[in-house]
Amino acid sequence: MGLPPYATLGQRIWYYSFRVICGLIFFFLVAPIVVVMPLSFNAQDFFTFTPEMLRLDPEGYSLKHYRDFFTNPQWQLALKNSLIIAPLATIISVSLGTLAAIGLSQSHVPFKGTIMAILISPMIVPLIISATGMFFFYAQLGNWLEGTLGLDKGFVGYVKVVLAHAVLGIPFVIITVTATLVGFDHSLTRAAANMGAGPVTTFFRVQMPLILPGVISGGLFAFITSFDEVVVVLFVGSASQKTLPWQMFIGLREQISPTILAVATILVVISIALLTTVELLRRRSERLRGLSPG
Amino acid sequence: MSDATMLAADGTPLKRSLARALRRQKLRALGLIAPLLIFVLITFIVPIASMLFRSVENQIVENTLPMTVEALADWDPNAGKTPSEAVYEALYFDMFLAAEAKRHTRLGTRLNYEQTGVSSLFRQSGRALDDIGKETQKPLEELNNAWKDGETWHGIFNATDNADTALLDLQRKRVAALTGSPASDEVNFAPDATLYNLLPKTTRAYTAWAVYTATQQGRDPATRDPWEAVATALALDLRTADLSAYSGPGADLLAEAQTADLPVPAMATAFADMDEDWAGATVWKTIQTHSSTYTSGYFLNAVDAQKTPDGVAWQPDDKQILLKLFGRTIWMSLLITFSCIALGYPIAWLLANLPMRQANLLLILVLLPFWTSLLVRTSAWKVMLQQQGVINDVLVWIGLVGDGDRLIMINNQFGTIVAMTHILLPFMILPMYSVMQTIPPSYLRAAKSLGATNWTAFWRVYFPQSVPGIGAGSILVFILSIGYYITPEIVGGTKGVFISNRIAYHISSSLNWGLAAALGTILLAAVLVLYWAYDKIVGIDNVKLG
């Protein structure tokens, strides 16, 4: 891919201009995310760099938007809700999804294609359509839970959002766990059974440790799906279940407050951490399978 | 004789033993899948099905005006005449109950989608209905004070031995359908079958009132004064009823009322006085056209057409926006897809041809936006594209644009296309990259050594092999973009929004849920067709994450 020494002038120009074009496209990909970070330390309520910031004057920077995020009750409610809803939804999708993925990886599964299509469908159907369908159905479900079972209104609100988010996360768990199971050596479970281990012991002591990287990255995908989801929660939830994305969406649509940039920066840091985790897990899983990590 | 069949260790024939083992294996697999399958069916598939159902369901007209719909069935809309007095009478009793339950406005809103003005007509009429009833209730109560007393009415119409339970059940169903909440509680009233024969309208009106009072308001009908509509029904019945043979409770009261010749309102005139629209045929045509339980009306509305008494017709010009919006959604999605191809192809090519270590490093730059919260990226674009935003500031600073005429890059199609291209670009790069990785670089070298120029070698050798990657990425990006909601909503203004924003508008603002469901169904069908194509070309199993 390097430039050969005999390259003509035209080839040289093309070679370097191609590099510049690629650089610009990478800049396009990363710039918006990078621009947000310094702006979140703005001492003013502006969405652009002030002259003080450009002079790198400490006066121009402050943590006040972060302070607002951590003290404002609206943002704190949103943060709390996100931290309640996303882990619960993740637990449901990971536990049910892992079981089903193991079932799907067996050699003789009747109607495998249909079942797979149904389980993947939450990822295929556009969110706005899922949200519309859920809006109609979950309202009735909520009324039934409140009316017939006499459950508390706030609790039912959380149940609806958690169920909705859990089902949105399931395809990701199914895809990642099935992918890990492709490399799983089934003679290991037979060996365990041969030595007297029951199905439960075999699962937890033999199979689970080997597919754990896939399960964890599936779980991370499910978590980020719920943590970042706004359309369904807008339609299914009520104001007391508003999550961080909800609060950001409202803030962006009505009047944009610089606190959003502070939240955005925090979320970018979280996603970098998650990205690193998934990448490390992928390499570990490939190493375990004897593939080169590249 | 068993020496021909092979036996398993426990003595059963091997074939059967194997079949049993296979069956057990299948059952175990299904048992593992079943919890999730049931979960997805209930929390996802059923809601989608309920949306499909909503897009054709139209019970509201029949539920709110059951007797009117029945009476109106025989009316010929093209004869140029208004319906008969019986229809107006049915409308009066239907509307009265609906107005008490505050449901007539909902029907007004529903029919307003089809014909503007019906909403206010229904609201007004609901308020004016009481006056019609008062015209008969007052003389009746002046005639004999006993009519003011709820117990008198209950005493007359409550059955002692031969109750008409069919009528009671019918009214329970009617109230339940109207209010949407069950009407099965104890009523403390059963209509008398004899009186139902003699005074059908009154008995029916009184039963409806009793069911509503008992089940929806939790009050005892025995002690309460019925609605004006019951008095009106009585006046109507007494005009023709033959009470000479009746000797049950309240016989003398009824006889007295019959001889008094109570004033009976002419319903057609009364409704025409309320609003002259009732005297025209248009509103009746609308009710009759849209009275069926299932309707294609919402789907017709979704493509800018409407159902009229004379068949399907286009909406008036000023209401034709949806087809344009569908067109714009497809057009903008195509633009976004092409921008993604243009920007993604060089990147994928670079990644596929660099040494592994450098490629992995650059890949992180692609994956970072992929993993960053959608709202973070959208808010970043809002910050960048604003008139007082970063890009305009830079352009002014460089001197490309004057401070006075900063570019308008947000709340229009440009903003939507830029932001969505950025958001969807990783979905284009990743499939392209994985396809290009499999193209051996020696092919290009071979082409060049055979005398091809750089361009010919690329265009005739490399590009055709990378087409599957372009196809996969394009379908993925296109599918994702036609269903996008958040980004167009925030950076699209009014000119840059998609059909999904219209769905959200109908769900949360205009409350025209049927139309929202129909639009959603059309969009879903489009997406499923595209996915089917995607599956044929790439295979769903090849979907890779990160």
Task: Tell me: do A80 and A23 sit in the same domain.
Answer: no
Residue A38 resides in a domain? no
Q: Are B388 and B469 in contact (CB under 8 A)?
A: no
Task: Tell me: do B500 and B357 sit in the same domain.
Answer: yes
> How many whole angstroms separate alpha carbon A289 and alpha carbon B545?
19
Query: From the CA of B464, how many Å to the nearest CA of chain A?
Result: 20
Q: Are B407 and B401 in contact (CB under 8 A)?
A: yes
Query: What 3-state DSSP class applies to B314?
Result: strand
Q: Using the beta-carbon criterion (under 8 Å), do B393 and A275 form an inter-chain contact?
A: no
Chain B contacts of A138, Cβ < 8 Å? 47
Of B51, B376, B454, the CB nearest to A267: B376
For residue B525, what is the nearest residue in chain A, using CA coordinates? A125
Q: Which of B266, B243, B263, B183 is nearest to B218 (CA)?
A: B183
Task: Tell me: do B115 and B248 sit in the same domain.
Answer: yes
Task: Tell me: do A179 and A281 sit in the same domain.
Answer: yes
Instruction: Name the token pair of B513.
Output: 């849920």
Residue A2 resides in a domain? yes
Question: Average pLDDT in the A90-117 region?
Answer: 89
Task: Tell me: do A148 and A263 sit in the same domain.
Answer: yes
Q: Are B285 and B309 in contact (CB under 8 A)?
A: yes
Q: Which of B357, B287, B380 is nearest to A35 (CA)?
A: B380
Q: Using the beta-carbon criterion (under 8 Å), do A128 and B531 form an inter-chain contact?
A: no
For residue B516, what is the nearest residue in chain A, using CA coordinates? A132
Residue B312 resides in a domain? no
User: Does A250 contact B at CB distance below 8 Å?
Assistant: no
Task: Tell me: do B141 and B283 sit in the same domain.
Answer: yes
> How many whole angstroms separate alpha carbon A106 and alpha carbon B319?
55
> How many whole angstroms separate alpha carbon B388 and alpha carbon B467?
41
Q: Using the beta-carbon criterion (under 8 Å), do B531 and A124 form an inter-chain contact?
A: yes
At A294 the pLDDT is 38
Longest dimension (CA), chain A: 82
**Any idea which residue has 């060996």 for tokens?**
A191
> How many whole angstroms separate alpha carbon B502 and alpha carbon B519?
9
Residue A123 resides in a domain? yes
Query: Looking at the 3D structure of chain B, how many domains does it have?
Result: 3
Q: Using the beta-carbon criterion (under 8 Å), do B32 and A100 form an inter-chain contact?
A: yes
For residue B541, what is the nearest residue in chain A, using CA coordinates? A175
Task: Tell me: do B484 and B528 sit in the same domain.
Answer: yes
Task: Tell me: do A152 and A256 sit in the same domain.
Answer: yes
Task: Tell me: do B271 and B220 sit in the same domain.
Answer: yes
User: Does A256 contact B at CB distance below 8 Å?
Assistant: yes
Sequential pLDDT tens for chain B (546 residues): 445 678 877 788 888 888 988 898 889 889 999 999 999 999 999 999 999 999 998 888 888 898 888 888 888 888 778 888 888 888 988 988 888 888 888 888 888 888 888 888 888 888 888 888 888 888 888 888 888 888 888 888 888 778 888 888 888 998 888 888 888 888 888 888 888 888 888 889 899 998 998 888 888 888 888 888 888 888 888 888 888 888 878 888 888 888 887 888 788 888 888 888 888 888 888 888 888 888 888 999 898 888 887 788 888 888 888 999 999 999 999 999 999 999 999 999 999 988 888 888 898 888 888 888 888 898 889 888 888 888 888 888 888 888 878 888 888 899 999 999 999 999 999 889 988 988 888 998 899 899 888 889 999 999 999 888 888 889 889 988 998 999 999 888 888 889 999 999 999 888 889 999 999 999 999 999 988 887 787 665 555 444
Q: Where are the alpha helices (DSSP H) in chain A?
A: 9-39, 51-54, 64-71, 73-104, 112-124, 127-147, 153-182, 187-194, 199-202, 208-227, 231-236, 244-253, 259-288
> How many whole angstroms separate alpha carbon B401 and alpha carbon B395?
6
Q: At what angle do helices B282-289 and B118-143 cross, to 10 degrees?
A: 100
Residue A62 resides in a domain? no
Q: Which of B304, B302, B325, B324 is nearest to B313 (CA)?
A: B304
Q: What is the DSSP letter of A184?
A: -
Q: Using the beta-carbon criterion (under 8 Å), do B372 and A103 form an inter-chain contact?
A: no
Residue A210 resides in a domain? yes
Task: Tell me: do B279 and B413 sit in the same domain.
Answer: no
Residue B411 resides in a domain? yes
- pLDDT above 80 (res A1): no
> How many whole angstroms separate alpha carbon B380 and alpha carbon B145?
76
Task: Tell me: do B72 and B47 sit in the same domain.
Answer: no
Amino acid at A77: L
Task: Tell me: do A242 and A159 sit in the same domain.
Answer: yes
Query: What 3-state DSSP class applies to B259?
Result: helix
Chain A contacts of B339, Cβ < 8 Å? none
> How many whole angstroms separate alpha carbon B198 and alpha carbon B200?
6
Chain A contacts of B365, Cβ < 8 Å? 26, 29-30
Task: Tell me: do A102 and A220 sit in the same domain.
Answer: yes
At B545 the pLDDT is 46
Q: What is the pLDDT of residues B117-154, one digit of tens each?
A: 888 888 888 888 888 888 888 888 888 888 888 888 88
Query: What 3-state DSSP class applies to B475?
Result: helix
Question: Average pLDDT in the A130-153 region?
Answer: 88
At B421 the pLDDT is 95
Query: From the CA of B347, how many Å to the nearest CA of chain A?
Result: 6
Which segments of B51-181 are extended strands (E)?
none
Query: From the CA of A209, how many Å to the nearest CA of chain B?
Result: 19
> How many whole angstroms separate alpha carbon B86 and alpha carbon B239?
14
Residue B188 resides in a domain? yes
Query: From the CA of B123, how many Å to the nearest CA of chain A?
Result: 26
Kindly give, in sequence order, each residue whose CB lies less than 8 Å from that of residue A246, ignoring residues fewer than 6 positions away.
Answer: A78, A230, A233, A234, A237
> How many whole angstroms separate alpha carbon A163 and alpha carbon A170?
11
Chain A contacts of B343, Cβ < 8 Å? 25, 28
Q: Are B382 and B490 in contact (CB under 8 A)?
A: yes
Chain B contacts of A170, Cβ < 8 Å? 36, 39-40
Task: Tell me: do A196 and A78 sit in the same domain.
Answer: yes
Select the more confidently predicted residue: A99 or A6: A99
Of A96, A121, A132, the CB nearest to B36: A96
Which of A128, A202, A224, A254 to probe by mutation at the B interface, max B CB count within 10 Å?
Answer: A128
Task: Tell me: do B34 and B72 sit in the same domain.
Answer: no
Size of interface A-B (CB pairs under 8 A): 267
Q: Using the beta-carbon criterion (under 8 Å), do B28 and A103 form an inter-chain contact?
A: yes
Residue A41 resides in a domain? no
Enumerate residues 50 to 109 of chain A having a beta carbon within 8 A of any beta carbon in chain B. Answer: 92, 96-97, 99-100, 102-104, 106-109
Task: Tell me: do A229 and A103 sit in the same domain.
Answer: yes
Chain B contacts of A275, Cβ < 8 Å? 364, 367-368, 371, 546
Task: Tell me: do B128 and B40 sit in the same domain.
Answer: no
Residue B359 resides in a domain? yes
Q: CATH number, domain at A134?
A: 1.10.3720.10
Q: Are B510 and B44 in contact (CB under 8 A)?
A: no
Instruction: Name the token pair of B526.
Output: 């489009």
Residue B195 resides in a domain? yes
The string over A218-238, giving b where at least 16 C-beta atoms fall within 10 Å of a residue's C-beta and e elsewhere, is bbbbbbbbbbbbbbbbbbbbe
Task: Tell me: do B357 and B472 sit in the same domain.
Answer: yes
Q: Using the beta-carbon criterion (under 8 Å), do A133 and B50 form an inter-chain contact?
A: yes
Q: CATH number, domain at B498?
A: 1.10.3720.10
Residue A108 resides in a domain? yes
Task: Tell me: do B441 and B517 sit in the same domain.
Answer: yes
Q: Using the beta-carbon criterion (under 8 Å), do B546 and A29 form an inter-chain contact?
A: no
For residue B382, what is the nearest residue in chain A, using CA coordinates? A252
> How many whole angstroms separate alpha carbon A150 and alpha carbon A156?
10
Residue A216 resides in a domain? yes
Q: Are A136 and B53 in contact (CB under 8 A)?
A: no
Q: Are B48 and A129 in contact (CB under 8 A)?
A: yes
Query: From the CA of A75, how many Å to the nearest CA of chain B?
Result: 15
User: Could you tell me which residues are beta bridge partners of residue B306?
Assistant: B313
- Please state the three-class secondary structure of B211-249 as a single string: HHHHHHCCCCHHHCCCCHHHHHHHHHHHHHCCCCCCCCC
Which residues form the domain of A12?
1-30
Residue B508 resides in a domain? yes
Instruction: Name the token pair of A108.
Output: 């003789």
Kindly give, in sequence order, each residue whose CB lies less than 8 Å from that of residue A112, ignoring residues fewer than 6 positions away.
Answer: A104
Task: Tell me: do A137 and A228 sit in the same domain.
Answer: yes
Question: Average pLDDT in the A22-46 region?
Answer: 88
Task: Tell me: do B103 and B50 sit in the same domain.
Answer: no
Q: How many CB atoms lie within 10 A of CB B289?
A: 21
Query: What 3-state DSSP class applies to B307?
Result: strand
Query: Looking at the 3D structure of chain A, how many domains does it have?
Result: 2
Q: What is the pLDDT of residues B179-196, one digit of tens each?
A: 888 888 888 888 888 888
Which residues form the domain of B102?
67-287
Chain A contacts of B375, Cβ < 8 Å? 228, 230, 245, 248-249, 252, 264, 267
Q: Using the beta-carbon criterion (under 8 Å), do A115 and B37 form an inter-chain contact?
A: yes
